[in-house]
Amino acid sequence: MKKRVIRYLRRHIDKVLPPEPSPVPATIETKFLNLTEFEFSEGQKVVLEKKPNLVYLVAPIARSGHNYISNLLLKHKEIKFPSGTNLPGEQNIMQHSAHLMWYAQKTVAEQKGWESKSEELVKLQSALLLRAMGYSLIEFYSKFIPANAKYLLLKDPATVGIENFSSVFPEGKLICLLRDGRDVVESFIKTFKRYSFEQATEQWRDGTERMLQLQSSSTCLQIQYEQVFANPTQEMKKVLAFLNLDEKDYAFDSLDDLPIFGSSTNSVNEKGEVDWSITNNKKDFKPVGKWQQWSADQKNIFKKIAGETLIRAGYEQNGNW
């Protein structure tokens, strides 16, 4: 019964449900990710350039605050977001990345039967083909930002496919936004009323687990929404260090004036729907602790579905809340 319901939901409200992950392809070896110059034949080299680089912001589920964080990122003059009448507000370029992985690997592997390619050369050329597709995505979206920008900012309120990020964008920067799942679920079910409490909790759990499986590194940074909201100056300095950007080019003096868009409590119209055109000043916005009015049954349901994830994400030490 549950599977039939999920299939129905995917057919009719696919824009909100995250996509089903594809079969996991083979990973790209690290030694191939770090290469930027290749000699395919005598005297002919291919040099891969990253102009601009990519910073990709992901959240486990909608209503996690990724729009707020993206607006904070755009306070730096060298980070730009592609915007225009016919451009999407979220790019979602990693959700189906497994298909890119398969394409690169299968395409090169098929060539082996006609040429004397070693397994090592197949792996190398697969990595190159995949990277070329990643650069093409960057080139496409970069047409809608200033030519001198250092970073192209793209975003997605879902984490499906992020395990492939470093393979498709070896030089890219991935920012994973964590947020207390209880507040996220409370906001999500108010905004998307067709979803049950259980469905929202499962989506937050699955999206967060994908982020937690990634190790923090020079290309991946995990941040907590609550810490950024409480002290944006301090937290954004950490983000700028991660991106190797100069603090002097960041508008720290205007952070307190940043509006909040589409609050599930402050931006609700007379129909009870979230009005995305309304903006609210941060001083009137209380995004933390909204779950505390939950019933005992709601708390127990969340603990059963996502209690362990909440602990692993650092929001509780145990289930006694």
Task: List, for residues 128-149, the tens digit of each pLDDT value.
Answer: 889 889 999 999 999 999 998 9
Q: Which fold has domain 7-257+289-312?
A: Rossmann fold (3.40.50)
Assign 293 a pLDDT band (cuts: 50, 70, 90).
very high
At 48 the pLDDT is: 64
Q: Evaluate whether 65 touches 230 at the Cβ level (below 8 Å).
A: no
What's the one-letter identity of residue 309? T
Average pLDDT value for residue range 73-90: 92
Residue 213 has pLDDT above 80, yes or no: yes
Question: Among 42-46, 169-173, 236-240, where is mean pLDDT lowest?
Answer: 42-46
At 193 the pLDDT is: 87
The closest of 203, 216, 88, 222 to 156, measured between CA atoms, is 88
At 273 the pLDDT is: 52
Domain ranges of the chain: 7-257+289-312
At 228 the pLDDT is: 95
Assign 235 a pLDDT band (cuts: 50, 70, 90).
very high
Which residues, in sequence order, are CB contacts of 68 under 8 Å at separation 6+? 225, 228, 229, 258, 260, 261
What's the one-letter identity of residue 318? N
Q: Evaluate whether 95 touches 19 at the Cβ level (below 8 Å).
A: yes
Backbone dihedral angles phi then psi of residue 192, each to the nearest 5 degrees? -110, 85
Distance from C-alpha of 5 to C-alpha of 10, rounded to nearest angstrom: 9
Distance from C-alpha of 161 to C-alpha of 19, rounded to nearest angstrom: 10
At 264 the pLDDT is: 46
The closest of 168, 153, 145 to 56, measured between CA atoms, is 153
At 258 the pLDDT is: 74
Assign 266 a pLDDT band (cuts: 50, 70, 90).
very low
DSSP H helical segments within 46-180, as ranges? 66-73, 97-111, 119-142, 165-168
pLDDT tens-digit series, residues 4-62: 666 665 555 544 555 555 455 566 677 666 666 666 666 677 666 667 899 999 999 99
Average pLDDT value for residue range 286-297: 89
Exposure of 222 by Cβ count < 10 A (0-12 exposed, 13-18 middle, 19+ buried)?
Answer: middle
Question: Among 31-40, 117-126, 267-276, where is mean pLDDT lowest?
Answer: 267-276
Q: Evaluate whether 74 touches 81 at the Cβ level (below 8 Å).
A: yes
At 107 the pLDDT is: 87
pTM score: 0.81
β 37-41/44-47 pair status: antiparallel
Residue 109 has pLDDT above 90, yes or no: no
Mean pLDDT of the chain, nearest integer: 84
Distance from C-alpha of 98 to C-alpha of 134, rounded to nearest angstrom: 13
Question: Which two structure tokens, joined as six digits, stand for 51?
Answer: 């102009």
Question: Which two structure tokens, joined as six digits, stand for 180?
Answer: 């207390």
Beta carbons within 10 angstroms of residue 8's beta carbon: 10
Average pLDDT value for residue range 150-165: 95
Averaging pLDDT over each range in 46-50, 111-115, 224-228, 278-282, which range is the top one?
224-228
- Identify the residue with better confidence: 20 or 210: 210
High-pLDDT (> 90) share of the chain, %? 56
